[in-house]
Structure 1
Amino acid sequence: MMQVNQELQQALEELQVVKEKLHQAYEELEQRVTERTAELVMSNVLLQQEIIERESAEAALRQSENLYRQLVESQTDIIIRIDLQGQITFANVAACQTFGWKQDEFRCQSYFQFLHPDDLTQVMESITALGYSSHPLTNYERCALTVNGIRWFQWNAIAIHNDKGEVVEIQQVGRDITEQQAALHDRQLAEAALRQSEEKFRTFSENTHATIWIRSADSFYPLYISPAYEKIWGRSSQDLFEQSTSWVDTVHPDDRDRATQSIEQLFSGSQSISAEYRILRPDGAIRWIWNRGFAVYNDQGQVNYYGGIAEDITERKLAEQKISEQAALLDIATDAILVRDFQSQILFWNKGAERMYGWLSTEVIGKDLHDILYPAGTQQQLKEPLKCVIESGSWQGELHKVTKSSQKIIVESRWTLMRDSAGDPKSILTVDTDITQKKQLEEQFFRTQRLESLGTLAGGIAHDLNNILTPILASAQLLQGKFFQDEERSGQLLTLVESNAKRGAALVKQVLSFARGYKGEPTIIQVQYLISEIIQIAKQTFPKSIEFSTIIPEEICAIAGDTTQLHQVLMNLLVNARDALPDGGNINISVENKLIDEAYTRMNLDAKVGHYIVITVADNGIGMPPEILDRIFEPFFTTKEVNTGTGLGLSTALGIIRSHDGFIKVSSNVGRGSKFDLFLPAVEATHSFKIEDLDLLPGEGELILVVDDEAQIREIATIILENHNYQILTASNGIEAIALYAQHKHQINAVLMDLMMPEMDGITAIRTLRKMNKQLQIIACSGLNSMEVFAQAADVNVQAVLSKPYTARELLNSLHHLLRG
């Protein structure tokens, strides 16, 4: 296109020269006509000559213009000339065809309407700049709006000057490069994709923990080895490039044949290979490698190169070895270990399960667990364990199952919820221990212990039976004598005989029921009936010098448990209370509903949040000293004389209460008596009951001084009180409490004082505080719960006594009554 422009320019310049010559000829002619009229003939000759010359010049000019037009019109590039206002003054055929206009209509159109809007501003600036510069614009690329849509053009522009050197027009030559541009764009995309792919491969290979290798198809020479090689092998990858077969020397001697055979298979035409072998590191360590190789083919189906991944699987191998060892341990375990899904399908069954239940794993895998271990009528026991393991993740308890031979067994079963990698429940792991023989021995032991209790009651039973038999024998003799004919007297005597006979039968029935016992499924027990039955036996068998009193509110909740075992616990406690009253006294049995909250459980690890029934058996007997109190639940520990007790009563009672998910609290004071509190879960207990759910009595911003040497008790007391509109100061001993009270004497409204503390105990601290302020409100608190401790608290004139562990309700109620009466 530059050549075309130059040719056009040359033609224009020749044309301009011709025009100037014509002009000069005309001037000379006029001058000669004027100046040399006389020389007319000569002038005519000269005129003729000039005319000939002018005709020749015009012919040359027409020839030059025709040549220029033919040159322009024959171009496939578009040629457009515009004035300085952007109006088209000339366009060749190619331009008219490209933009869809006729030549005469195309002239005077605005050139800018055919430009893409995104390019319009820059093009106008370029044309303006061209008017002030002698340098052409070359090879600039812009879009134009043609009849075939948006097309890319490469433009060259040049300024056209008049005879005064002024720019009057702009000539532009454009070449359609849309196809070249699309091809260039595709190539750039392909190159960018290639660079991105190479970058991804480089990033992946340099950051992956596995070694990526690429080797040539002919000599297996390494073309690429990723950096992980040096980390796994502990060797420089340069060694492989210098000696391509040196990798074989790093393989463990026992595994070299397997490693090299896999590579030979790749050479033999296998599309992929996989091999596991050990390598020897320079530091002497042995690592396991999993090498996978494959062939990459070209379009002709020939191997282009070989690639592969060598992964360090040492940890996996160790884990597999550990799993294998654990599997062996599971198989030698005496417990039955099995896994089931949530459709009760058996997934795992160890050798212990085979021995316990008689079923081989091949017989039960994939089968329904209920069909194998739980016959009809026993599946109801699974509802609570399944609910518990889903909610809390684990469950532990006793279950009744059957073996392949239909033998009934009792197992101690532990269930654990298993989750998948996403944390969703997927199965349940169960570990069963056969406790059938243990339960049988327990039953024998419990019965023996009951019989021991009956032995201690024998004297009372004999006395009561004699009292029953006396009126029966006397009436029988009278009926045989003079009252035989007396109908009125006979009727009275027969009624007396009948009532005493029924009384005796009831006593015998109760004794036999207690002695034989019956162990079955836990049942719902109404506490008031349980206590009335045991009181009835005690009243009939205990000395008359012992009085009984009971406090049983009507709204007492029920409990779930074994009636015989709970009978045994209460009878044992009553017998111990009787023995503590050699000269007679009082035995009190009371029952209350109690809600144990989180505060209470933090101070008593045996307790759980929820509703409990508390059965209290208290006497005013001889009591127990602390050294005896600490040992009363030890098996075979007894303070009774030889042959009068086995020392198993209280340990048995504790085991029974714990088997019912309960616990026992004991307090005693020498000379004043003992008190046993039995805590048993209520049937309708709320299993998750938080402090904030309670309707408790709040404070009114009072400042409370909490004194306790246990940091956890100070913490929970602070939480309770601050959450219920109290302000708190805390002290860890009596000395610190006195110092704080002296500092905040006029702000502190009440003191919660622990009685047993190091350095200065609570009693001493209370006496000191009383000297500072006789009107100070004080709540004494103790974990000993002995009558002696509370008697000491009464001596120093405290307003309330709180036993540890205490609930949030008990603490807040005590403060409320203390401060607001």
Structure 2
Amino acid sequence: MPFPAQDHGCPGWKGEMARRISEFDWAATDLGAIQNWPRSLTASVQMLLASPVPLVLLWGQSGYMIYNDAYAIFAGGRHPYLLGCQVEHGWPEVAEFNRHVMVTCLAGGTLSYRDKQLVLLREGKPEEVWMDLYYSPVADDTGAPAGVLAIVVETTARVLTERWRQRAEAELRETNERLQLALNTGAVLGTWVLDVRTGSVTGDERFARTFAFPLEEATKGVERNAATQVIHPDDQALNDRLTLEAMRTGQPFRAEYRIRRRDGDYMWVQANGQCEFNEQGEPTRFPGVLIDIHERKIAEQSLRQLTETLEQRVADAVAAQALAEEQLRQAQKMEAIGSLTGGVAHDFNNVLQVINGNLQMLAADAGDSPAMLRRLSAATDAVKRGAKLAAHLLAFARRQPLSPTVLNPRRLLAGMSEMLHRALGETVKIETVLSDDLWHVQADRNQLENALLNLAINARDAMQADGTLTVRAANRVLDAAFCHGKPELSPGEYVVFSVTDTGTGMKPEILERVFEPFFTTKPDGHGTGLGLSMVFGFVRQSGGHTVIDSEEGQGTTVSLFFPRCCEPETPEAVDQTAAPVGGGETILVVEDDADVRLTAVEMLAQLGYKVLTASSADAALEFVDSDVPIDLLFTDVVMPGKVKSVELAQRAAARSPAVPTLFTSGYTRDEIVHHGKLDAGITLLSKPYRRDDLARKVRSVLRAGVARVVGVGDGQIAPCVPRKAYDPASASEASGTSVSGRHESLHEPVPSLENSPENSVTNSLPGSMASPPVHQPGKPARVLLVEDDLDSREALSDLLGALGLDCTAVASAEDALPLVPAQRYDILFTDLTLPGMSGDNLARAVLRLQPDIRVLLVSGYGKSAQIGEAIPGARLLGKPLDISQLRRELAEWLDHTEAAS
């Protein structure tokens, strides 16, 4: 009979599982709503919930599971999933066993198991368990079996304990049997008799052999002192005391001590005996037997030592685990900081590149003004300091592009001698200790010199500019013991550079943090905290390891371990001093940062090159796959889009004639750097770079005659034929592209690029099939620019003016609308997000007044910007804009403007 609705089917039910059962949606199962359960089921559940023993009710043919709180604990991670679940689904690994249970008990039978062994999945892994299981049928209201009640008691711990006890008892029995066997088969080392009145000891043949006496002497008797001389000195006092006590009390004598064998080693023996007395109670005779107990004593000592050191060994194990966890946390922290600092350095280098490039171009235009040149020099010095800071960040993050060569340590340190003396001053004594026949190492010469110089300067500051600095270089073979706990090091041959000072040393808490970036003990303004972190990152990136040893008041030693290199030393290259200019070659500049891209374009233009630009490798691919003449690809390493810079370089090398590539980056990842080194055949110009550096690198690549492009992961170099320099006029005529000065227009090929999704931030808006208005030849196109941000408005206005357009710039739609009736405009260029009326509503209003105007909408959301109803003919562009994108959108007007000029 179902319970009344107000009872909710669970009168008197208490506990967590009672609540879960009451709230469960049983209507979704074959059991139906809880209010409609038969009385037999609710009674069984009530009994189950009241039991402290783990109980589970399997109801119905499918065995829907209902269980109590104790069973929920047993279920572990499967709870509460098991509630209301069919038993075969809840425990699939023992489905066959549970199927047998259901069939047997629903037929009226019972089952019981004692220490039943099963394999259950726990935490995703199979585990052997043992349980006591009792299954009984549960009748429904008609008396027929309708379910199964299971009592589940896990006995795994008891079973394993019992097995361990049985094994221990068996081992003990075996030990005792072996001991008894030893005693019965020759463990007796001899018998002896002490004559108390004379002090002589007689013994049998085995006694004589044990104490190394001739048998004849042992039989006649030897002095007791002669016999006791073979007893271990530490045990003689105990033996004498027990002997005297046995002669005084008459109690049995038993002593365990060590005796010296013929080979000089000691063995454990046990002496047993009892003193005999005369009628007057005086001791007269003391017979005894000697037994070999060496193995037992060694076992006992081992067990005692094990017991005594167990606590210490547990403490050591816990401490070792804590140390390993701390090392892991430290490594993870350093890796996280490295990723962060690498990203910061990337953006920082881009900013410095813009500043540096513009400073150099200003310097070229500054003339002979001393004040202007002084200010430019100060600003350039600040950029250099910023670049050094970024380089340190990249070194710590192990993201700096290294150019390793094979170095001779002796020659390297000899070349640094003057630099070290100049940097440290006359008050610091420098000692150089070099081993004979130093091995070669493979490392970036500049970075290694910087690292050693950095360590030397740190040492000078620690010694307060007065002390002895020792620079050492030595060959060293590391074994597994030394490399333990240093995952960066493998056993093998290394060259170790070490810098030792006689300074104040460091406290342990400071020593733990010395390699963290920005950590410094110097006063504010006297250190960036990047010196040691830079050294740490550079050495790790070079395949080595840094070890620092310091003790407060005892000085500090920093050691740099570099793997031995068996290749011959690399000859030093001589740098060019002159900055060569171009001969009219065309360079494709690929850079996603608009400011960096414009700076590079202007520097190349000053150097006499023609320039094509693209904001991504996807866009640049349009040029590479076209017939546009290109002499050099100058691309950033890390680029947005589907096409990677290395793939773009490969496509350029595949042209006929092939186009060489010069890479640039302020932060290298895995595209062209592997294992901390530039891939073979790669030429890289690191940001921020100077105009002279750019000039030399470009001429070097153009002159090389081969494009060294590395295939992704295969390391193959693609041969390339150098492109012949061509006449500026013919190049401009063929490509429609020219850059000869800072404010001249930048033209890109228009055919096939106008509607290219890769070369434009967005495609046309829905329904945009209208053609751009026809502009009257001889007059500049008029642009109505609407942008509320002052800096963006001025920059876009200048850029549109530089492209030869007549631009009227206002800050809002409300300022723009009054201008439209009085003046015809060719182009409306408006931001979508404006104060007051939005840019898309402004466009609709302007189109009603001038239906043939070209509409360009700009948004920081790019293609995802929402404008509601489509605007025919409008184009939606994403911020930030670049000049190549604008040129494509305004190509119709630029062509007429150029013709008119």
- TM-score with structure 1 length normalisation? 0.22
Greater relative CO, 1 or 2 (CA 8 Å, sep 6+)? 2
Q: Whose radius of gyration is greater, 1 or 2?
A: 1
